[in-house]
Amino acid sequence: MAQERKVKILVAKPGLDGHDRGAKVVARALRDAGFEVIYTGLHQSLEQIVESAIEEDVDAIGISILSGAHNYVFPTLMELLRKEGMDDIVVFGGGIIPLDDIPGLKEAGVKEIFLPGTSLEEIVDWVKENVKPREVVL
Amino acid sequence: MADEKIKEAFDCWEKDVYAKEVAKHPERMERFSTISDLEIKPLYTPLDLEGFDFLRDVGFPGSYPFTRGVHSTMYRGRLWTMRQFAGFGTPEQTNERYKYLLSIGQTGLSIAFDFPTLYGRDSDDPFSRGEIGKCGVAVDTLRDFEIIFDGIPMDKVTTSMTINPPAIVLLAMYIATAEQQGVGPDKIGGTIQNDMLKEFIAQKTWIYPPRPSLRLIRDTVVYCTNHVPKWNTISISGYHIREAGATAVQELAFTLADGIEYVKMGIEAGLDVDAFAPRYSFFFDSHMDFFEEICKMRAARRMWAKIMKERFGAKNPRSWWMRFHTQTAGCSLTAQQPLNNIVRTALEAMAAVLGGTQSLHTNSMDETWALPTEEAVTVALRTQQIIAHESGVTNTIDPLAGSYFVEALTNEMEEKAWDYINKIEEMGGIIPAIERGYPQKEIIEAAFRFQQQVEAKEKIIVGVNEYIMEGEDLPIDILKVDPEVERVQLERLKEVRSKRDNAKVKSLLDDLRDAAADEKENLMPIVLDLVRAYASIGEIMGAMKDVFGVYTDPGYF
């Protein structure tokens, strides 16, 4: 029986938004919880994020965005993943996102949006529940 | 000796009264600490101020070491400037918001730019997609500035511009717009943030590596010292350091360490310290821990005065002054029960006033959701007016001086900040420290520690980890930026490019590349020529990128 590999998560900061406190704190909490975490650093284009996700063969992408560009960022990211046939990667996110925008983002394929004030425990538990190592196609 | 008597009485109280009570009824927590985790004792007495020297440590307002404020009459003479940071969407919308703010009693403007502008990119840059006009106003060329300031007399208002890597370009646009209104550079007043060191430490809006970034700051400082005498050339900022998760002591220490570097820079550029240092100003955060913030501000003024007088030998008292702007803490606001944010902001604003700020921005209750609505901004400004006119705290100067607790905490924060500064000096100053990732790593540690304290409920945030309302409806309206903004902005940029003298822009950009390659050249005059020729911010910053290269995020976490 093949050994189940660790869940691998890419934490990413798309575009020009430099607010990285949340991304870093969440990345660290996920790492401490035993997941393998890759942090892209700031100022990544969506293409770069998808490329890193493929290269690192991650199971999930966590996007942090506080600039107001979420309605562009998430649907475009989902579209790029679909094009690459990688839409089984779980995408979740957080940041400054008005409630009214959340249904649209979920419709676009985002699995969960975490708002300010969410506890790290809640995020870790959600990842445990919702992200499984992707099946490797041989 | 009086102290011995007090000591005896204190020991007696502690043992016979306090300890007995605690044994019977334990206190609510084992350890009490500030929001930055400085331990706080149950009681402060003269014993905590051993060696206290009133004239040396506190003294008089408007006099060295300025612990009590930089002005001798403080708010009895003139209230602080109420300066709300604003700007969104198109230049037209921002112009309208400014006229509104001026009409309701605001006394200075403060421009928020959108992300593409903050990074020196044009609206038609692929990286700008989805960001145009979102976090602030979009500016591509001088044309946008002409619209923002249409009908606003630039000799009458002062303007603070939160802009860093492209500060040289926006300053040039401001000067050029004022020129069109017939207002010369010696008549305009305002501030550019222009503080790249804190960008590398905390806010992360960077383009070029640290050293060329500092060179651009040098060029603006030298130019303004000679031609724009009323301009505040650098707003040395602790705000972003704090918001990124630093403690109050870290905010204090890293900000002053940055300040030291900027003074060294001016001196190395050949300027007399007293010619440029009076135009440096500071910018602090005012967080939720009331006394910690007040003490931070008092300590900051005293430390800066010492640095300028003793270390740099400045002779002009204005060089010893730490003048600062304060903004209430965005990171203290909660998305849950947003009306509570009005109360948080009021407390933070009160601390800033008791700390002796020169200008203040109060955050709006809805900023954890989006940019503020007009109603929310009005309440935020009214908060300042209530403090100024109703609370009575402005009647006397530095009313908390002499409090055993306030003086002891001021001293403690100063000592702890010197420890950091000395450590940074041992590394060779803040630039090598940044290159090693030292302040960045200290901040992320502190941010993580705070989050863990919140998770463990060692720190309570009302509505977040205690007093939660399940199934809460959001009781406030949210501002939406019209997606039309993007189209309008792109169209205007296209139009400007089609009408200007493109051959001239191209040749000026070549000149800029040549000048950038010569470290001794001051780039300000040529940037001014480019702006007047309607070159775009992306073109100007891009040309320098060819010479300076780019900085990439080391991504510590």
Percentage of residues in chain B having pLDDT higher than 90: 88
Window 111-140 of B, Cβ < 8 Å to A: 115-116, 118-119, 121, 126-131, 134-135
Percentage of residues in chain A having pLDDT higher than 70: 94
| Residue in B119, B134, B335 nearest the CB of A68 | B134
* Nearest CA distance, A12 vs chain B (angstrom): 10
Domain count for chain A: 1
| Residue in B131, B447, B461 nearest the CB of A25 | B447
* B539 pLDDT higher than 50: yes
**Residue at A138 is within a domain:** no
Express each pLDDT in A42-53 by its tens digit. 999 999 999 999
- Give which of B249, B150, B229 is closest to B189, Cα–Cα: B229
**Residue at A101 is within a domain:** yes
Reported confidence tier of residue B326, pLDDT bands at 50, 70, 90: very high
Chain-chain contact of B129 with A72 (C-beta, under 8 angstroms): yes
Q: What gap in Å lies between CA B322 and CA B320, rounded to an integer?
A: 6
**Amino acid A17: pLDDT:** 85
> What is the CA B348 to chain-centroid distance, rounded?
15
Express each pLDDT in B390-410 by its tens digit. 999 999 999 999 999 999 999
Q: Identify the burial level of B157 via C-beta atoms within 10 angstroms of its C-beta, where 0-12 means exposed, 13-18 middle and 19 or more buried.
A: middle
Q: What gap in Å lies between CA A102 and CA A74, rounded to an integer?
A: 11
CATH of the structural domain B54-455, one choice from 3.40.50.620, 3.40.225.10, 1.10.390.10, 3.20.20.240: 3.20.20.240
Range of lowest pLDDT (A10-19, B21-30, B437-446): A10-19
Contact A54, A2 (CB under 8 A): no
- Interface predicted TM-score (ipTM) of this complex, two decimals: 0.81
**Amino acid B131: pLDDT:** 87
**Amino acid B297: pLDDT:** 98
- Give which of A1, A2, A39 is closest to A21, Cα–Cα: A39
**Residue at A18 is within a domain:** yes
The per-residue pLDDT of chain A, averaged, comes to 92
**Residue at A135 is within a domain:** no
**Residue at A15 is within a domain:** yes
**Residue at A78 is within a domain:** yes
Chain-chain contact of B451 with A40 (C-beta, under 8 angstroms): no
Q: Is B235 on the interface with A (CB under 8 A)?
A: no
The two tokens of residue B509 are: 């950009």
Q: Is A52 on the interface with B (CB under 8 A)?
A: no
Percentage of residues in chain B having pLDDT higher than 70: 100
* B85 pLDDT higher than 90: no
Q: Is A33 on the interface with B (CB under 8 A)?
A: no
* B213 pLDDT higher than 60: yes
Contact B548, B217 (CB under 8 A): no
Position with higher pLDDT, B484 vs B2: B484
Window 312-331 of B, Cβ < 8 Å to A: 331
Give which of B114, B134, B551 to mutate to test A binding, by max A Cβ within 10 Å: B134
| Residue in A15, A45, A98 nearest the CB of B369 | A98
Q: Is A24 on the interface with B (CB under 8 A)?
A: yes
* A137 pLDDT higher than 60: no
Kindly state the average pLDDT of the residues B448-476.
Answer: 89
Contact B366, B478 (CB under 8 A): yes
DSSP assignments along B138-174, one per residue: ---SHHHHHHHTTT--TTT-EEEE---TTHHHHHHHH
Helix (H), strand (E) at residue A33: none
DSSP assignments along A62-76, one per residue: EEEE-SS-HHHHHHH
Chain-chain contact of B115 with A16 (C-beta, under 8 angstroms): yes
Contacts of B371 in chain A (CB under 8 A): 68
* B504 pLDDT higher than 70: yes
Window 55-114 of A, Cβ < 8 Å to B: 67-69, 71-73, 76, 96, 98-100
* Nearest CA distance, A87 vs chain B (angstrom): 22
Window 355-374 of B, Cβ < 8 Å to A: 368-371
> What is the CA A27 to chain-centroid distance, rounded?
10
Chain-chain contact of B127 with A21 (C-beta, under 8 angstroms): no
Express each pLDDT in B118-162 by its tens digit. 999 999 999 898 889 888 899 999 999 999 999 999 999 999 999
Express each pLDDT in B174-188 by its tens digit. 999 999 999 999 999
* Nearest CA distance, B408 vs chain A (angstrom): 31
Reported confidence tier of residue B97, pLDDT bands at 50, 70, 90: confident
Kindly state the average pLDDT of the residues B405-432.
Answer: 98
Contact B253, B296 (CB under 8 A): no
The residues with which A61 forms a beta bridge, in sequence order, are A10, A91
What are the start-end ranges of the E strands in B69-221?
Answer: 81-82, 85-86, 109-111, 158-161, 189-192
- CATH assignment of the domain containing A35: 3.40.50.280
* A1 pLDDT higher than 50: no
Q: What gap in Å lies between CA A118 and CA A135, rounded to an integer?
A: 30
Contacts of A100 in chain B (CB under 8 A): 478
**Amino acid B74: pLDDT:** 97
Chain-chain contact of B478 with A98 (C-beta, under 8 angstroms): yes
Give which of A9, A10, A24 to mutate to test B binding, by max B Cβ within 10 Å: A24
Chain-chain contact of A119 with B121 (C-beta, under 8 angstroms): no
Chain-chain contact of A15 with B130 (C-beta, under 8 angstroms): yes
Q: What gap in Å lies between CA A45 and CA B127, rounded to an integer?
A: 7
Reported confidence tier of residue A136, pLDDT bands at 50, 70, 90: low
Nearest residue in B to A45, CA atom? B127
**Amino acid B475: pLDDT:** 67
Going by their DSSP bridges, the two strands B189-192 and B231-232 should be labelled as: parallel
The per-residue pLDDT of chain B, averaged, comes to 95
* A2 pLDDT higher than 60: no
What is the extent of the structural domain holding A113?
A: 8-130
Chain-chain contact of B555 with A40 (C-beta, under 8 angstroms): yes
- Give which of A73, A12, A34, A66 is closest to B370, Cα–Cα: A66
